[in-house]
Amino acid sequence: MNEFDAIILGGGPAGISSLLWANSLGLRAVLLETAAELGGQLLHMVHRVIDYPGLIADSGRHLRDEFETQLRELNLDYRLGCRLENVNLAERTLRCNDEPLTAQAFILATGARKRRLGIPGEDRFAISGGVSFSATRDHSLYAGKNVCVIGGGDSAVENSLILSRVCPHVTLIHRSETFRTRSEWLRQARQTANIMFLTGVQPIAIEGAERVERLIVEEIHSGKLRTIATEGVFVRVGIAPNTEAFRGQIALDEAGYIIADQRQRTSADWVYAAGDVCKPVCLSVATAVGHGAIAAKDIAETLRQQAKSKERL
Residue 9 near residue 271, CB atoms below 8 Å: no
Alpha-carbon distance of 166 to 195, in angstroms, equals: 12
Residue 213 burial (CB count, 10 A): 15
Q: Which pLDDT value is given to residue 44?
A: 83
Max distance between CA atoms of the chain, in angstroms, equals: 76
**Pairing label, strands 232-235, 131-132:** parallel
- Give the mean pLDDT of 217-239: 95
pLDDT, tens only, 21-49: 999 999 999 999 999 999 998 988 878 89
Q: Residue 162's closest CA among 76, 285, 32, 46?
A: 46
Confidence at 1, pLDDT banded by 50, 70, 90: low
Alpha-carbon distance of 102 to 87, in angstroms, equals: 10
- Give the mean pLDDT of 206-219: 96
* DSSP H stretches of helix in 142-284: 154-164, 183-190
Q: Which amino acid is at 101?
A: L
% pLDDT > 70, the chain: 99
Alpha-carbon distance of 170 to 145, in angstroms, equals: 9
Q: Which pLDDT value is given to residue 313?
A: 67
The rounded mean pLDDT for the chain is 94
Q: Identify the three-state secondary structure at position 67.
A: helix
Judge whether residue 137 has pLDDT over 90: no
Judge whether residue 210 has pLDDT over 80: yes
Q: What region, left, alpha or beta, does residue 75 occupy, with left being phi > 0 and alpha being psi -120 to 50 degrees?
A: left
Chain-centroid distance of CA 210 in Å reads 30
Residue 52 near residue 286, CB atoms below 8 Å: yes
pLDDT, tens only, 146-185: 999 999 998 899 999 999 999 999 999 999 999 988 899 9
Position with higher pLDDT, 83 vs 309: 83
Alpha-carbon distance of 251 to 90, in angstroms, equals: 12
Judge whether residue 88 has pLDDT over 70: yes
**Backbone phi, psi, residue 129, to 5°:** 125, 135
- Give the mean pLDDT of 284-291: 95
Q: Residue 34's closest CA among 111, 105, 124?
A: 111
Judge whether residue 282 has pLDDT over 90: no
Q: In order of start, what are the domains of the chain with their CATH numbers?
A: 3-113+240-312 (3.50.50.60), 122-235 (3.50.50.60)
Alpha-carbon distance of 244 to 9, in angstroms, equals: 13
- Give the mean pLDDT of 247-273: 96
Judge whether residue 311 has pLDDT over 90: no
Alpha-carbon distance of 147 to 236, in angstroms, equals: 13
- The DSSP output letter for 71 is H
Question: What's the whole-model pTM score?
Answer: 0.85
Say if residue 9 is exposed, middle or buried (CB neighbours under 10 Å; 0-12, 13-18, 19+). Answer: buried
Judge whether residue 207 has pLDDT over 80: yes
Q: Identify the three-state secondary structure at position 260.
A: coil
Q: Give the H or E element holding residue 312.
A: helix 285-312
